[in-house]
Amino acid sequence: GKMPYWEGQSFGVIPPGLNPKNGKPNSVRLYSIAASRYGDDFSGKSTTLCVRRATYWCPELGAEDPAKKGVCSNYLCDAKPGTDVKMTGPSGKVMLMPESENFDTDIIMVATGTGIAPYRAFWKRLFVENGPAAEAYKGVAWLFLGVANSDALLYDDELQAIKAKFPDNFKLDYALSREATNKKGGKMYIQDKVEEYADEIFERLSNGAHIYFCGLKGMMPGIQDMLKDVCTKKGLDYDEYIKGLKKDGQWHVEVY
């Protein structure tokens, strides 16, 4: 198509209308692309976004406050087939997949909510589509997804199908904060689920695995604290360890 992209990039969407705060046209909002470079229809001329309608419940009104709803997410969720959408991009290189010579790099993907979007592009290319990447991939792709409850899981049908078909190359773990408890008896957040497999994850990272984080920025402090604790137990300097991962291109973070 006329807007070719790679897995891990984002498209910008410019919703129509004016910003009531300054009277200027609405600004661009970025959304991670949730399809491989070929698109879900494999035409190379389409793409997919994973959008959650942003609303705000006002306790004083006892209802949703329309003045505080997400302008762009509601625009996209309300759009009808055939709607012309003004877009920018693609942009971004932080979340690109490793393109190793042997295509055997382990990929560890950590997401909360719609932060799963870029990873859908990954698993489509590696496991679903009948393309050269799927034929060549010999590594392990491991997805950790954190959501409130099982009703909020995204793409579960796709993921379970891949897990059943590729048990040696695809691993899947959910952190359901309102349904499960961590080892301390508290809510099971994403960092708790990752910590359960800390030894294996650190071993894979030492062997060249790439680790990705995508979702709300509030996920990172808990993850960083958990990784610091693991580093301490392993006798590692956390700052030096992360610096090494970044230097080797193994550390990828895109939060919003």
Q: Indicate which residues carry an active-site annotation.
A: 31-32, 214, 254, 256
Give dist(CA 247, CA 250) in Å, integer.
Answer: 8
- Torsion angle defined by CA atoms of residues 130, 136, 138 and 140, in that order, rounded to the nearest 10 degrees: -50
Nearest by Cα to 162 from 141, 146, 147 = 141
User: C-alpha distances in angstroms, 24 versus 68, 72, 83, 84, 170?
Assistant: 18, 15, 22, 21, 47
Nearest by Cα to 204 from 126, 105, 137, 127 = 105
